[in-house]
Amino acid sequence: MAPQLEKVLKLTSFRYKRPEYSDKEFHDFCTDHGLKAAKIQQRHGALKIAQYHTPPACKKLLTDMIPFALQPGWALEEHDLMVQVWVRTTNDMAAIFTDPEFQMLVGGSTPEVQDKAHITAGWEEVFVEDNKIVECPFPPYEERSAVGAGSTLFGLDQIAQGTKI
Distance CA 43, CA 99 (A): 10
Is residue 160 pLDDT above 50, yes or no? no
Give the model confidence (pLDDT) of 57-108 as tens digits.
999 988 899 988 889 999 999 999 999 999 988 899 999 999 999 999 988 7
Q: Does residue 113 carry a pLDDT above 60?
A: yes
Distance of CA 124 to the CA centre of its chain: 12
Mean pLDDT of the chain: 84
Helix/strand/coil (H/E/C) assignment for every residue in 2-37: CCCCCCCEEEEEEEEECCCCCHHHHHHHHHHHHHHH
pLDDT at 3 over 60: no
Q: What is the CATH number of domain 9-160?
A: 3.30.70.100
Domains in the chain: boundaries: 9-160
